[in-house]
Structure 1
Amino acid sequence: MTTPLLSLTWTDHVTGRRGYLVVDRLVRGVCSGGLRMRAGCSLEEVTGLARGMTMKEALHYDPHSRYVPLGGAKGGIDCDPRDPEAYGVLVRYLRAMRPYIEQCWTTGEDLGVTQDLVDRAAAEAGLVSTVQAVYPLLDDAAAARARLAAAFAIEVDGIGLDELVGGCGVAEAALAALDRDGVPYAGARVAVQGLGTMGGATARFLARAGLTVVAVADARGTIANPDGLDVEALLAARDAHGVVDRAALRADDRRLPVDACLSADADILVPAAVSYAVDAGNQHRVRARLIVEAANMPVVPEAETLLAARGVTVLPDVVVNSGTNAWWWWTLFGDVGADADEAFAYVRRSMRALVDRMLTRARADGTTPRAAAHALAEERLPVIAERFGRFR
């Protein structure tokens, strides 16, 4: 891994909790990457995520698009988002990071924080917006901001468009892989670990495509049903942290331990919660033949090697969950309007093309999909640097 451009550690003077910012690369002086909050978040974790953002940006580079990929970055706070002190920590972190957010780092929701929460804390910290650093790169910043605000105001069947686009991309990545292997959707079984923004939307899109969601996990445990869960009912019964009210379960829905989701009898496993969920010690429990990484870094490298030896394919996070970040910029730069159908169509088309390139490259090189995705990104980074300059 290359050395990041900037790496810093912040200590909250009130609680002593720590936060981190890592800027892996700048393009035109700007970088992009969300802000996560979880107990145990570390500088090493944030550094890996920042590098992943650099690759996600590069993988979506299209010289014919208005959207110009940015550099990669990431923020992280070591605090449980359910802690009563969490919001104050978030505000103070953003206040401390204000110079970076104003000048170079565009950020938004990630694990543990919603966009609404980030926006509220950012306003309290004195920020105009968490993406204001990109405004100078826009042809018409006022029109772009209005377009993005209009897109964020759209709801589809009770869920915000901004919460759905990422899951749409994850689902499309899974469907593209099934199509390449000639696997019919009907009868394909799915387990989703995490029912927050990304996991919930992924479950919805896969269920609506005709797949059977047989297990979902939240912080309280796994909910399973071999005949298929009522995904819409579970989504409607979630709280702000993606935890399902068990009163919404049907009589034949089973309640199992949290980690039971990993060993569910499913064809596809979608880890959509924390990083490092599948490691060398538990990978043998995975029964699915396809793992689709909706979360960032959920499968550790040692586990991926062991899984590959068992014939399990892992579609990597840098491709699978890149749709949310790309949609923000497609909308802001004007490649996509404030319209749900247009957004979903653009995400689906882009993700299918990217997954196809990755899997074709993996087959040609005799490597894993992750190695192929990294190779594609590494080939594009010099092209971007040549066109827009390098800040390292």
Structure 2
Amino acid sequence: MTAPLMSLTWTDHVTGRRGYLVIDRLVRGVSSGGLRMRAGCTLDEVTGLARGMTMKEALHYNPEGRYIPLGGAKGGIDCDPRDPGAYELLVRYLRAMRPYVEGCWTTGEDLGLSQDVVDRAAAEAGLVSSVQAVYPLLDDEAAARRRLAEAFTVEVDGIGLDELVGGCGVAESVLTALDRAGVPHSGTRVAVQGLGTMGGATARFLTRAGLAVVAVADIKGTIANPAGLDVEALLPARDAHGTVDRAALRPGDRELPGDAWLSAEAEVLVPAAVSYAVDTENQGRITARWIVEAANMPVLPEAEALLSARGVTVLPDVVVNSGTNAWWWWTLFGDIGPDAEEAFAHTRRSMRALVERMLVRAEADGTSPRAAAHAIAADRLPVIAERYGWYR
């Protein structure tokens, strides 16, 4: 495994807290990857995420499209986003990273940070935009920026389009796996860890496809109902960090310990919160047939090997949660317009094709879906490098 192009550790002069930036690869001088904030964030974690972004970009490469894949990168800050000083820490981090954001790193929301918070902090740090490094690659910068800005104003049933497209992609990944296995959507049960941006949208799209979300977990614990939760009632009862106000629960809903989602009687588990949620110990409690990684790196490799040995299929993050990143670029480059139906349709087509390709490759090679996704990315990276160049 090759080393990243650049790895940087920053120490905040006010609090002593650390932040990280890893640029795994540049394509035409630019990389793409979100900025996360969580207590315990490490350089190794950010390095793995940056490598994953390189693969996500490659997996969505379409030589006929306007969207030109970028390189992979990631930022991380070791701080609880609920800390009273978290926002000012974010501003100081972005001020320190300003030369990279201006020149070669496009970023946006990730775990612990919403896009509006990133945008506000970026402006305070003196940046034009968190994605300004890509502007020189655009044919018509003014039109592209208007198109993306307009897309961010679109709401569907009270939730922003930018918060929904990622979950649409996760849900389509689930539905593709079910369809290939001949499992009907109706009656299939799902447990979701995390009801933030990604988890909440995933739960909405899956319930609207006929599946039953029987458990959701947040920082306060797990909410469960074997008959299915009322997802539409839970979504508006969330705070900014995805924590559900328990006043919204129905009489049949039960409150269980935080890790109860792991052992929920469900066919599909969707970890959509933190990294490293499934380890070698707690994986033994899982009875689901599929784990669909809406979060980044939620299943440890050793745990995945044990799960695979007993017939549990893990659909990897590098494919499953790639829809949000791709939607940004499809919109900015002009493959789609600032319209919800167009965005959902394009996301569904692209994700279904990608998941189908991954599962076919896994079956043909006799490997896991993750190994198949990595192989597809490995096939595409030299093609992208030959067409656009790369800096190693």
TM range (shorter): over 0.9
SS of equivalent residue, structure 2 residue 263: coil
Q: Distance in 1 between matches of 2:101 and 2:319?
A: 25
Superimposed CA distance per residue, residues 280-300 of structure 1 (whole angstroms, 9 cap, x where no aligned partner): 011001111100000000000
Aligned-pair distance for 1:92? Answer: 0.2
Aligned-pair distance for 1:344? Answer: 0.1
Match of 2:99 in 1: 99
Match of 1:334 in 2: 334
Match of 2:7 in 1: 7
Q: Distance in 1 between matches of 2:197 and 2:235?
A: 10
Match of 1:364 in 2: 364
Q: Distance in 2 between matches of 1:337 and 1:286?
A: 41
Superimposed CA distance per residue, residues 59-100 of structure 1 (whole angstroms, 9 cap, x where no aligned partner): 000000000000000000000000001001000000000000
Cα root mean square deviation, aligned: 0.3
Q: Distance in 1 between matches of 2:163 and 2:231?
A: 16
Which one-letter code corresponds to 1:350 in the other structure?
Answer: S
Aligned-pair distance for 1:241? Answer: 0.3
Taking the TM superposition and a 5 Å limit, the aligned residue runs for 1:42-61 are 42-61=42-61
Which one-letter code corresponds to 2:197 in the other structure?
Answer: T
Q: Distance in 1 between matches of 2:260 and 2:370?
A: 26
Q: Distance in 1 between matches of 2:67 and 2:334?
A: 8
Match of 2:188 in 1: 188
Which one-letter code corresponds to 2:261 in the other structure?
Answer: C
Aligned-pair distance for 1:349? Answer: 0.0
Taking the TM superposition and a 5 Å limit, the aligned residue runs for 1:1-392 are 1-392=1-392
SS of equivalent residue, structure 2 residue 72: strand
Aligned-pair distance for 1:251? Answer: 1.0
SS of equivalent residue, structure 2 residue 139: coil
Which one-letter code corresponds to 2:143 in the other structure?
Answer: A
Which runs of at least 4 in structure 1 moved beyond 6 Å after TM superposition? none
Give 5+ residue unaligned stretches, structure 2: none
Q: Distance in 2 between matches of 1:258 and 1:273?
A: 12
Aligned-pair distance for 1:140? Answer: 0.3
Superimposed CA distance per residue, residues 3-41 of structure 1 (whole angstroms, 9 cap, x where no aligned partner): 000000000000000000000000000000000000000
Q: Distance in 2 between matches of 1:23 and 1:151?
A: 27
Q: Distance in 2 between matches of 1:99 and 1:390?
A: 20
TM-score normalised to the size of structure 2? 1.00
SS of equivalent residue, structure 1 residue 4: coil
Q: Distance in 2 between matches of 1:153 and 1:217?
A: 29
Q: Distance in 2 between matches of 1:390 and 1:82?
A: 38
Aligned-pair distance for 1:367? Answer: 0.1
Which one-letter code corresponds to 2:256 in the other structure?
Answer: L
Q: Aligned residues, how many?
A: 392
Which one-letter code corresponds to 1:124 in the other structure?
Answer: E
Which one-letter code corresponds to 1:24 in the other structure?
Answer: D
Q: Distance in 2 between matches of 1:74 and 1:267?
A: 32
Superimposed CA distance per residue, residues 82-136 of structure 1 (whole angstroms, 9 cap, x where no aligned partner): 0001001000000000000000000000000000000000000000000000000
Q: Distance in 1 between matches of 2:132 and 2:258?
A: 39
SS of equivalent residue, structure 2 residue 175: helix
Superimposed CA distance per residue, residues 268-287 of structure 1 (whole angstroms, 9 cap, x where no aligned partner): 00000000000101100111
Q: Distance in 1 between matches of 2:390 and 2:106?
A: 18
Q: Distance in 2 between matches of 1:16 and 1:252?
A: 47
Give 5+ residue unaligned stretches, structure 1: none
Q: Distance in 1 between matches of 2:16 and 2:310?
A: 44
Superimposed CA distance per residue, residues 225-272 of structure 1 (whole angstroms, 9 cap, x where no aligned partner): 000000000001000000000000011100001100111000000000
Q: Distance in 2 between matches of 1:370 and 1:291?
A: 12
Q: Distance in 1 between matches of 2:192 and 2:282?
A: 16
Aligned-pair distance for 1:391? Answer: 0.7
Q: Distance in 1 between matches of 2:5 and 2:200?
A: 34
Which one-letter code corresponds to 1:105 in the other structure?
Answer: W
Aligned-pair distance for 1:390? Answer: 1.3
SS of equivalent residue, structure 1 residue 250: coil
SS of equivalent residue, structure 1 residue 262: helix
Aligned-pair distance for 1:2? Answer: 1.4
Q: Sequence identity of aligned pairs in percent?
A: 82
Which one-letter code corresponds to 1:234 in the other structure?
Answer: L
